[in-house]
Amino acid sequence: MPATPTRDHLDALLPADTPTDLMARLRTAKDGQARALALVEVARHTRETSLGSAQALGEAALSEALRCGSARAAVEALIGLTFVSASLGQQERALDAIGRAQAMLEEHRLTELLSAVLNTRALTRLTGGDVTGARQDLQDALDLARQARDPADQGNALVNLAWLACSTGDPKDALHHLNLLEELIHTLGDEGLAESLSAYLHENRAHAYALLARQAQELGREDAQRQAVQQGLMVLRAARTALQATPSLTSELLCAAHESTLLRLQGDLRGAERLARRAAQLNAVLKQQLYIEPQVCLAELLQARGEIDAALSQYSAALDIARRQHRHLDIQRLLSAISALHEQQGRLPEALDVLREALQAANTALDRVNGAAARHLQLDRELRQARADASSWQDRLRHAEVQARQDPLTGLLNRRGLEEGLQQLQFPGDGARPADWSLLAVAFVDVDHFKHVNDRHSHAVGDQVLRVVGRLLAGQVRPGDLLGRYGGEEFVLVTPVRTRGRAHGLAESCRRAVEAHDWSALLPDMHLTASVGYAVTTPDRLPQALRIADDHLYRAKNAGRNRVFPAAP
């Protein structure tokens, strides 16, 4: 858990485009709770342009809430951190944060925040592929908001139900929820809330009509396709008016992508390309690469023109984004599109390979959902046990946050801690990435024949061996490097380097540290070694580098173990 930020550190976190009213609210906050809630609002505003900064501001808000003892502000901060973590693909962290928010909400009887908690948990579940759980959360959130007569929470639940319906290919259900949203908007006395919800209303309606038009085209229903296109374009005119009242780069990007799709289905390929390029430009301005819509609408346009290889390239770019964020539904949709494109071209082996990948991705997503459910139950048990202890709720939350990132056996980062560190390197907030982290070495270190250690000497001795290996590797790194236990007997190290030669030297030093250690006290009949695979990359290509380093580790193992791959440059 980060320390409470100083004024100078906080100034460094605040984006240059922070609205003056939010700045004034933060500067004039009279107590810790007001200051924490102001930080939550700034973080919410910052999400659109920098998730890294939003996460740092959310952590600052949580620290301030813990310092001043405000459970309400802590729950608000955790809700915001859940949204950001889910957007960054940090599923475990998102579920942990929302689990703590829910536990605190129950402990302090902050029932008026339950709808917001359920809304946010639903988005996290949907991103991970748990559609049933997400739908139930959103329906519960809507029911609670109606009972409490809270129009903002009602509106959010209806928007999210529509988004879920579009994400699962059910545009008619989406339009049903959006009609309810429009009825709600007409009853609002809060003009600002009405304008904000209207922007979501029009963008989601355009999305639903684009889906209807696409489905009609697939069924060969030309009249239905033409009608859906006309309705979608009419909605987009209303969306542009709404965006003038409530500007949003995200909504503008999505509307441009929807309009590109509708124009393509209308046969206006030139107009569709212009809007697709516009969506791509807005995506570049956001600097986050969170949205796949620009790549998808451009891929479909290229496919319509017969430029198949270019279309596949755009689909692959979208797939990389979806994989980075573990967005199961989008991954399946994109793999299906890629497979169908291969099949249309008569590339049946390629189509089959992609279908196999889709099946593997589905199994991985199912494992993630089951793992998240198990982690949620474990977290609930931990929080209930902690509640029975004498420590304050602030101390319990701090302790849980540290435990969630730390491997209990070695004291190094666990897989979640590593993934969060890697995400921060990809999506840094202002000042979050050290200046010298422009070229990175990624190394996988795996203990050779570790199964023999457990078989011959017991798992207890195996645990001691892993602790020693962790200490040996820690002796090779510098402060600020990322080092953690990735799972089993495998460790990961990420550090800035100036040259590939330096990366190889670091990998060799890790290998030699394990080989040179005197293992006789722990393993009198064994001499322990390790294999290392590494890759050198830039921060924006970390996911690819991890896969390459893992492949290089496999090659080091196959080449005889106790070696580094690739060899010295």
Residues 126-150: pLDDT tens digits?
A: 877 788 889 999 999 999 999 888 9
**Average pLDDT value over all residues in the chain:** 84
**Closest by Cα among 114, 130, 134 to 122:** 134
Range with the lowest mean pLDDT among 39-43, 332-336, 422-426, 451-455? Answer: 422-426
**What percent of the chain stands above pLDDT 90?**
37
Distance, CA of 129 to CA of 327 (rounded, Å): 7
Q: DSSP secondary structure string, 400-429?
A: HHHHHHB-TTTSSB-HHHHHHHHHHHHS--
Highest mean pLDDT among 337-341, 361-365, 548-552: 548-552
390 pLDDT exceeds 50? Answer: no
The whole-number average pLDDT for the span 386-391 is 52
**Per-residue pLDDT reduced to its tens digit, 419-458:** 777 776 755 544 455 555 578 899 999 999 998 888 888 8
Taking residues 335-350, what's their average pLDDT? 82
- Each as own residue / partner, the long-range contacts of residues 306-314 (CB below 8 Å, 24 or more positions apart, any chain) are 308/341, 308/345, 311/341, 312/338, 312/341
Q: Where are the beta strands (DSSP E) in 261-413?
A: none
Mean pLDDT of 10-17: 67
* Residue 433 DSSP class: S
Higher confidence at residue 355 or residue 525?
525
Reported confidence tier of residue 73, pLDDT bands at 50, 70, 90 = very high
Contacts for 317-323 with beta carbons within 8 Å, 24 or more apart?
318/292, 320/543, 321/289, 321/290, 321/291, 321/292, 321/295, 322/292, 323/543
Question: How does residue 159 score in pLDDT terms, banded at 50, 70 and 90?
Answer: very high
- Taking residues 160-171, report their average pLDDT: 92
- Distance (Å, whole) CA 541 – CA 121: 29
Q: Is the pLDDT of residue 181 over 50?
A: yes
**pLDDT at site 255:** 94
Between 12 and 440, residue with greater pLDDT: 440
| Cβ-based burial of 29 (10 A; exposed 0-12, middle 13-18, buried ≥19) | middle
Predicted confidence band at 97 (pLDDT cuts at 50, 70, 90)? confident
Measured distance CA(369)–CA(134) in Å, rounded: 12
CA atoms within 13 A on the CB side of 120: 28
The residue count for the chain? 569
Residues 40, 60: Cα–Cα separation, whole Å: 9
